[in-house]
Chain A
Amino acid sequence: MKTIVDLPGHVKQLDVPFGGADLTDCDREPIRTPGSIQPHGVLLAVDPVNLVVMQAAGDTQRLLGIPLSRILGCVIDETLGVQVRDRIATLVKHDQLLPRPFFVADVRPGDIALDVSAYLSGGLVVLEIEQRPSPAMLDGVSLIQKMIGTVQMAGCLANLLNGITCEVQQACGFDRVMLYRFDGDGSGHVVAEAVSSENIDSFLDLHYPATDIPAQARALYCSCWIRYVPDVGYSPQRLHPDVNPSTGRSLDMSFGLLRSVSPVHLEYLANMGVAASMSLSIVIDGQLWGLIACHHQTPRYLDCRLRAALELFAQLSSLQIKARLETELAAKRANARSISSSLVASMTQQGLSALLDDKPNLLDLLPADGVAVVVDGVVSVLGATPDRASIDSLTSWLNGTMDGGIYSTSHLRNACPTIPNAQTLPPGLLALSISRSPSDYVLWFLPETVTTVKWGGKPDKIMTPGPLGDRLTPRKSFEAWVEEVRDASRPWTPVEIETATLLRVSVLEIVLKNVDLFAREQQSARAHQALLMAELDHRVKNTLATIQALVRSSKESATDLVEYTLSLEGRLRSMARTHDLLTETHWEGAPLRLLVESELSAYRPLGDPHLDIRGDNIELEPKAAITLALVLHELATNAAKYGSLSSDDGRIRVKWTVHADRGTEWLRLDWTESDGPLVSMPINSGFGRTLLEKAFAYDIRGYAKLSFDPDGVHCLLEIPAGRIVRPNRG
């Protein structure tokens, strides 16, 4: 049943949780505000001021021993006890709750052991209470270390992805764990899989179209790293009352662990014979790169701490994947350059025929089905190409079409419908013009994607499709995807286009310029390229080693998994931000102002009058930038917990100058907190202190002094001015 209330001037709203969505509705479903939860837990939305329950959902009688009607309007100590109430009150007071839930307490108000997680949404504190499965998880930190230790040894990307699925499968015990990778067009492809036994159907190499995961779900998955449905056949539990009684707004459960999911998604899972599902996001540079999807044939409940561990593992895996992708991209580029150089060298001696006859040839440079070289109307070919007549009509069409030296398409049949037999041409074409007037060409051809796809899939088992029909099955998804990519080749990659462009420059240069001089330049460019590659490779491996050391040493100071996860995530994010800043300058330096701002902006908007950031525009060399950013991160985290960022009135001033002292020039940075709570607590984490006092001196020969003045924390940091690479541009 679907009822749509049409409010003038408002967006259409479904008045029943999820309504009766159909496939075309997917992009409009209220997935962030479903108005209901899954029944394996209880949700209490609580006023942060008086801790009174404003909204509730779930079987409170079973888990808490009290009917839902008696919980609404009451303070939470009546249901969860004084201990949980005090814990929540403390978290609220210190502003430590986040929009993402984390584990806050365990409690046993009746016969059932419960885990309580909490997050902030729409001005309310949302408590999610789940029964703890037994046996409880033992040591999440060791588990993550074992998992990440195993996968980071993988040499190539394929091994890494296989390793990730195997580790997740072993840790969660689901029957099937798949890793989807998304292509540029949003379609998905199962690139790795681990199953619990041979009886489980394989989905390896399955493809499905972009529409199988609606755009709004993709956006949500980028910020929310885990989804979990322990029992696909569940009955949603409505939220009472359905909106916040004081604001009239629906509860945003985007990050909630208990969030009820789309019925379309549930039907898809049920059609596959899946009874429990969990998915983890792989996010790279802010984009949803892939998903780890876990399926089980029977309902399956996981400890919330195990899920937190898997979520952290997915984040660490994303970093590992990113490093491998960068390495592989760089290797491809270097390989293309080296083939290109030898092609150019043999072409210099033997002319254009060397492009096809020698080893390496044009197909080694750009792997394709076939390649044709057309010079003065003479066609030479290698591999699978269209016949001469088709190539002739293609080049006449290109003469009138090409604008610039290069043309690429993966939909050639649609692009040139007018030429004879267009439907028999291969759909992928990369054309290079290699003369001044467009008449001579190099043409590479790619076949239809569907001819190169491996997944056959098993015929679907006999089953009764759900009310939306049989479209929601892997077989039908695959067919839909095949329809979408019919008449298309795989897309040409940016590296391929770049390689072809460079080759064109070389070919033209040979024709147009002094050959000897050019060869010498090529030679020195090659040597330079090799050095750059070795340095890039070294940087990636060294960064992975630092992450490894960070994963190990963060454990020393953490008291529990939640703290370990939050602090490690924070440090990794800080490191990633610095890397982003450095990437923008090709690893020459990072602007000091941006380093300071990026750490503080997590807690206060920039421009906030309580923040005072001042100093000359200077850039720091990479090593100093990375270490200083980690130190600033510890100072900011500490200020948010105990210092001036923990109160509304608190102020922070960060000021830097360059001055001469002890015979050398120093960059002096003062971090001064004031108007915060009375300072008594020393910097909390042993790790933070170690970074400040030891790593700072060890890594960059700096000097740090931390003092706890009654007005607030003061930290003096001195860095040798030799670490400044240059005044900041602009």
Chain B
Amino acid sequence: MGSSISTALAGLHVLLVEDEYLQAHDVARMLETRGARVGGPCSSVMEARDILADGPVDMAILDINLGDHDVLSLAAELQDSGLPIVFLTGYARSAIDDRFASVPHVRKPAEHSTIEQALTSLVMRSDRVSDDRCAN
């Protein structure tokens, strides 16, 4: 792994679901410059499932669209499976179903640093969980 990259995201495999090319491309490039490997970006739930079937990912960034129930059911499945996810969306937190209350929410338009922070704190959280498991 490139030793010059020392961010918390280095080496992570991140699934990116975003249905607008310009935005998807922008976030994907940001992730790559921080040393992450991007799964996708993809614009549909079907493609996202293909990527997940190909091999494990470390976390997922999802643009949710309330009109599209598929994305919400994918989000619910990922959440149940324990995969860390972040919503990157134009919706206000209050518009999103309460069952996703613990999912970090980044509101568009977002600075790169805000997205990075949300992902970094997820990494920290899941690291702590694994440490606890080791202690047990």
Contact surface of A with B, Cβ cutoff 8 Å:
149, 152-153, 534-535, 537-542, 544-550, 552-553, 623, 627, 690-691, 694-695, 698-699
From B19, B22, B66, B109, A534 is in contact (CB under 8 Å) with B66
7 contacts between A and B (CB under 8 A): A538-B95, A544-B108, A545-B90, A546-B20, A546-B22, A553-B25, A690-B25
10 other A-B residue contacts (CB within 8 Å) besides A544-B109, A549-B22? A537-B92, A541-B109, A544-B108, A545-B90, A545-B109, A546-B23, A548-B109, A627-B21, A691-B21, A699-B21
* Residues of chain A with a CB closer than 8 A to B79's CB: none
Among residues of A, the one whose C-beta sits closest to the C-beta of B63 is: A542
The 7 closest A-B pairs by CB, nearest first: A541-B90, A695-B21, A545-B108, A542-B90, A549-B22, A534-B95, A698-B21
In the complex, chain B residues whose CB is within 8 Å of the CB of A539? 90
A541-B107, A544-B108, A546-B20 known; A699 vs B92 contact (CB < 8 Å): no
Task: List chain B residues, Cβ under 8 A from A546.
Answer: 20, 22-23
Residues of A within 8 A of B111 (CB): 149, 153
Q: Quick check: is B26 within 8 A (CB to CB) of the other chain?
A: yes
Do residues A699 and B19 form an inter-chain contact, with CB atoms below 8 A? yes
Within 32-88 of B, Cβ neighbours of A (below 8 Å) are at 43, 65-67
The answer to whether B108 touches A542, judged by C-beta atoms less than 8 angstroms apart, is: yes
Q: Which among B21, B43, B91 has the greatest number of chain A C-beta atoms within 10 A?
A: B21
Given contacts A152-B109, A153-B111, contact A545 B23 (CB under 8 A): yes
CB distance from B33 to the nearest CB of A (A): 12
Q: What is the CA–CA distance of A540 and B19 in the complex, to the nearest angstrom?
A: 16
> Which single residue of chain A is at the shortest CB-CB distance from B108?
A545
Q: Is the pair B66, A552 in contact by a Cβ cutoff of 8 Å?
A: no
Is B22 within 8 A of A538, CB to CB?
no
A537 and B95 contact, CB distance less than 8 A: yes
Chain A residues with CB below 8 A from B95, complex form: 534, 537-538
Contacts of A550 in B (CB 8 A): 22
The answer to whether B92 touches A534 (Cβ under 8 A) is: yes
Nearest-CB distance from B98 to chain A (Å)?
A: 15
Q: Do B109 and A538 touch (CB < 8 A)?
A: no
> Is B91 in contact with A549, judged by CB distance below 8 angstroms?
no
The answer on a CB contact under 8 Å between A535 and B66 is yes
- Docked Cα-Cα span, A534 to B66, in Å, equals 9
**How far apart sit A694 and B20, CA to CA, in the bound complex (Å)?**
11
Residues of B within 8 A of A552 (CB): 26
A537 to B107, CA, bound (A): 11
A691 vs B43: C-alpha distance when bound (angstroms): 15
Distance to closest chain B CB from A41 (angstroms): 38
Which of the residues B22, B65, B66, B110 comes within 8 Å of A553, measured between beta carbons?
Answer: B22
Q: Is the CB of B25 within 8 A of A549?
A: yes
- Shortest Cβ distance from B82 into chain A, in angstroms? 28
Q: Which residue of B lies closest to A548 (CB)?
A: B109
